[in-house]
């Protein structure tokens, strides 16, 4: 059975997803217990040939995944960093109902689409979970959505390996989309973003009445999800999960975690839902709709700013280890544009990540740099008065960590009482 799944909700080409995909393709070789410490243990080991297509792949043991790949060293470094932080984000955000990755998961990563397909992945997809391994294209033929797809498909692999149980399809796909949208900062992920384009698309679907009702969605079987392959279902599933994770100051987080814990422990989902949310689906539908209709057009620009501040702090910390300093924001931006931001080999990050972070700064907030206590901080002020400060820590001359502090906008003072109108 195949699931038709698209990790690119903005285009119509459906991609095949394979949560329940058990086809005999290239079987992955079992992980060897190689106890390597750092996440960048990049000594290539020859992969045991699983098929003609995968025989030539090099094997890398990383913290949570065994990567089999023909990518060059920088691309493998990037993939290693991304999936390590991705696994940590899955674990952090699902702590209330999931366990941890205890055995390295197999991840096949190809330079070219033709080799990816020859190794058993479905044509027309950028990434897929095959039931026993994650596969993706991340080289010459990578499209802009490769990592969205890997974050999405990787979550299906995480569900399969760690959460288990019969998670309803809307929750599995909705959570996969939730993580698919997450933004990598270089040292962590920022989750919970609402891309403005996706919000507009969801609202258009709500207005047109082209979405299923929440009740219909909950009753949709795995097989029907596959048969329909509808992009609207991905939008609805994502919007339900996002609502449960963030709406009304997070009041649904606990019952949602309780629901998923019950299902993953073997409960039937209708019973798990009733126990945690009650049986009034109509009022749930209403609150979901009110939430999405009430948002402003770019409701998570603070999170996008946070992601940029984190990435910039990550780069600034690394430049300091190379004794490169910037006197102000303009000098930093120009250096980035000219490719002169220098990071050490051991703390490498892909330069394109800084470009993406800077592109967002041109859309959101006022940005500046400040030297304080021997380090450089990045400051951002949003139009509503929210302030973000990105900073970093070094340890023994190496980059250690980046952090962003957010100070919400001060609440507007209450309006003074209208003075009595003097009598004429």
User: Considering only residues 8-27, where is the footprint of Zn ion by CB under 5 A?
Assistant: 17
Sheet of 387-395, strand order? 366-372, 375-381, 387-395, 398-407
Contact 145, 126 (CB under 8 A): yes
Binding mask 131-170 toward Zn ion (x if CB under 5 A, else -) reads ----------------------------------------
Q: Is 176 in the site for Zn ion (CB under 5 A)?
A: yes
Closer to Zn ion by CB, 176 or 230: give it: 176
CB of 283 to Zn ion, least distance (A): 29
CB of 28 to Zn ion, least distance (A): 20
Piece in contact with Zn ion (CB under 5 A), picked from 2-10, 29-37, 318-326, 347-355: 2-10
CB of 158 to Zn ion, least distance (A): 12
CB of 396 to Zn ion, least distance (A): 42
Piece in contact with Zn ion (CB under 5 A), picked from 66-74, 172-180, 292-300, 375-383: 172-180
Piece in contact with Zn ion (CB under 5 A), picked from 158-166, 174-182, 389-397, 411-419: 174-182
Q: Is 5 in the site for Zn ion (CB under 5 A)?
A: yes
- Residue 401 to residue 314: CA distance in whole angstroms: 7
Closer to Zn ion by CB, 146 or 376: give it: 146
CB of 9 to Zn ion, least distance (A): 11
Closer to Zn ion by CB, 78 or 173: give it: 173
Q: Which residues bind Zn ion (CB under 5 A)?
A: 5, 17, 173, 176
């Amino acid at each position: 059975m195949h699931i038709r799944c698209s990790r690119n909700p903005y285009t119509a080409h459906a991609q095949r997803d394979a949560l329940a995909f058990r086809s005999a393709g290239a079987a992955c070789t079992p992980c060897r217990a190689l106890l390597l410490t750092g996440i960048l243990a990049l000594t290539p080991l020859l992969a045991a040939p699983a098929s003609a297509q995968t025989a030539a792949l090099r094997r890398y043991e990383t913290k949570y995944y065994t990567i089999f790949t023909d990518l060059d060293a920088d691309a493998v470094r990037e993939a290693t960093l991304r999936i390590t932080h991705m696994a940590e984000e899955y674990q952090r955000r699902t702590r209330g109902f999931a366990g941890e990755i205890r055995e390295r998961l197999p991840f096949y990563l190809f330079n070219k689409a033709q080799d990816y397909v020859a190794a058993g992945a479905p044509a027309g997809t950028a990434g897929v979970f095959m039931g026993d391994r994650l596969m993706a294209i991340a080289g010459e033929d990578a499209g802009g959505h490769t990592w969205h797809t890997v974050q999405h498909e990787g979550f299906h692999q995480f569900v399969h390996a760690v959460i288990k149980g019969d998670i309803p399809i809307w929750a599995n796909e909705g959570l996969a989309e939730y993580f698919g949208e997450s933004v990598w900062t270089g040292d962590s992920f920022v989750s919970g973003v609402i891309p403005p384009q996706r919000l507009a698309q969801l609202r258009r679907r709500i207005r047109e009445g082209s979405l299923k009702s929440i009740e219909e969605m909950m009753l949709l079987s795995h097989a029907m999800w596959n048969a329909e392959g509808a992009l609207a279902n991905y939008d609805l599933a994502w919007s339900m999960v996002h609502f449960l994770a963030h709406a009304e100051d997070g009041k649904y987080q606990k019952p949602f975690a309780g629901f998923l814990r019950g299902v993953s422990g073997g409960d039937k989902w209708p019973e798990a839902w009733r126990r945690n949310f009650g049986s009034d689906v109509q009022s749930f539908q209403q609150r979901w709709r009110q939430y999405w209709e009430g948002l402003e057009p770019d409701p998570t620009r603070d999170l996008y700013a946070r992601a940029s501040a984190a990435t910039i702090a990550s780069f600034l910390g690394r430049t300091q280890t190379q004794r490169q300093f910037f006197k102000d924001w303009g000098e930093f931006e120009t250096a980035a544009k000219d490719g002169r931001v220098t990071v050490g080999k051991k703390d490498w990050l892909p330069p394109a990540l800084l470009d993406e972070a800077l592109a967002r700064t041109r859309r959101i907030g006022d940005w500046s740099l400040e030297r304080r206590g021997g380090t450089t901080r990045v400051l951002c002020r949003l139009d509503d008065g929210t302030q973000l400060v990105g900073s970093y820590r070094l340890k023994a001359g190496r980059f250690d960590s980046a952090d962003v502090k957010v100070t919400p906008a001060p609440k507007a003072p209450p309006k003074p009482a209208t003075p009595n109108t003097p009598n004429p």
